[in-house]
Amino acid sequence: MADVADLAGVSLKTVSRVVNNAPHVQPELVERVLAAVSELGFRRNPLASSLRSGQTNATIGLLIEEIANPFYATIAGAAAEVARQHDTMLIIASSEEDPAREEQLLRDMCARRVDGLLVVPAGDDHSFLRAEIELGTPMVFLDRPAGGLLADTVLLDNRGGARAGVRRLVEAGHRRIGILLDSIGVYTMRERLDGAQDALAPAGVPYDTRLVRDGVRDPLAAARVVSELLEGPDPPTAFFSLNNRITLGVIEELHRRGSDAAVLGFDDFDVARLVPYPLTVIAYDTRELARTATELLFHRIEGDRSWPRTVVLPTELVARGAPPR
């Protein structure tokens, strides 16, 4: 900047004024400075700028579990889009579901003085962020609530969606429903399971824990569990899979066996149309989830200091897949 000032024959401060479009600079000087800027290829260093001004550095952080997962990729895409509308860069970090790593990454982002933070929580204690929040870094949690912290949160209606889906199964006469889930340790899974129970009880269908299988991590495991349940005594006539990875495995196995069990799956997926089996999915708008959260974050960044909000977005039942063979 000093070089530019020398070349243009003005003071360093005048250069600063020009590059910041500050008022009260003679048009002629502006011209000279701009000429010098482009001659020297000068570009303002936003880091130094935000160091001095203490103001925003036009960066927000997004913490997710795993970028390569389409759910989080969609979130990242929507967040990036909103960020871009606010001329803000997005830093993305993956916690890989590891609470220790999550804490380290969040601290690191705060140390970088991001303007705000979007967090899909992995751990269940986020009280270490309280100091940051009080220090003025706005944060919005999405998909899952923060642990031990009152903060803005945007969630899906996991429980309501599961309740509506299972109610439909029950109304269709199913009394034995196999339920497959990834991990009961995850908030969304617990909510979905609670929703299923909500729907069973009033219909007088007993909640049979032998039909509920935790720890189903991938399609292969799902296929195996379906086999077990179908070959056991008093097999289920319907399956409720609590995420789309599981749904794929369930369908594959049912298709292979030529079974006609009903399938209800939480999470939609793009190729669902192509799947050779009829199923009902509990769908939701992932982009909307992220968009809502990011917009809330920018409200906070722009100074909204009102009481923390919790927003719950609706889910929808959708019929998918090819009709049975």
Partner DNA sequence: CGCTATTGTGACAACGTTGTCCAAGCCATA
Partner DNA sequence: TATGGCTTGGACAACGTTGTCACAATAGCG
Cα separation, 310 vs 40, in Å, equals: 50
Answer yes or no: are the C-beta atoms of 203 and 167 closer than 8 Å: yes
Q: With respect to a copy of itself, which residue has the nearer C-beta, 108 or 304?
A: 108
Which amino acid is present at 319? A
Q: For residues 15 and 60, what is the distance between their CA atoms, to the nearest angstrom? A: 28
CA–CA separation, 163 and 144 (whole Å): 18
Closer residue to DNA (CB): 48 or 100? 48
Nearer to a copy of itself, 191 or 268 (CB): 268
Which does residue 295 bind out of a copy of itself, DNA, none, counting CB within 5 to 8 angstroms by kind? none
Contact 267, 192 (CB under 8 A): no
Distance CA 300, CA 88 (A): 14
Tokens of 319: 């019929």
Partner from DNA, a copy of itself, none binding residue 25, C-beta < 5-8 Å depending on class: DNA
Which amino acid does the sequence have at 222?
A
**Contact footprint for DNA (CB under 7 A):** 1-2, 10-14, 16-17, 19-20, 23-26, 29, 42-45, 48-49, 51-55
CA pair distance 62, 29, nearest whole angstrom: 42
Applying CB under 8 A, which residues contact a copy of itself?
41, 43-48, 50-51, 57, 59, 66-70, 72-74, 76-78, 80-81, 84, 89-94, 107-113, 131, 248, 251-252, 255, 269, 271, 273-276, 287, 322
SS3 content of the chain, % helix, strand, coil (to 5): 50, 15, 35
Instruction: Please choose which of a copy of itself, DNA, none residue 158 contacts, taking the beta carbon within 5 to 8 angstroms, the exact cut-off set by kind.
Output: none
Write out the two tokens for 125: 């204690």
Indicate the residue among 5 and 250 with the shorter CB distance to a copy of itself.
250
284 contacts which partner out of DNA, a copy of itself, none, CB within 5 to 8 A by kind? Answer: none
Which partner, a copy of itself, DNA, none, binds residue 314 by CB below 5 to 8 Å per kind?
none
Q: How far is the CB of 49 from DNA (least distance, A)?
A: 4
Rg, Å, the chain Cα set: 26
- State which residue, 28 or 271, has the beta carbon closest to a copy of itself: 271
Minimum separation from the CB atom of position 169 to a copy of itself (A)? 22
Smaller CB distance to a copy of itself: residue 199 or 223?
223
In the list DNA, a copy of itself, none, the entry touching 14 (Cβ below 5 to 8 angstroms by class) is DNA
Tokens in use for 271?
């190729």
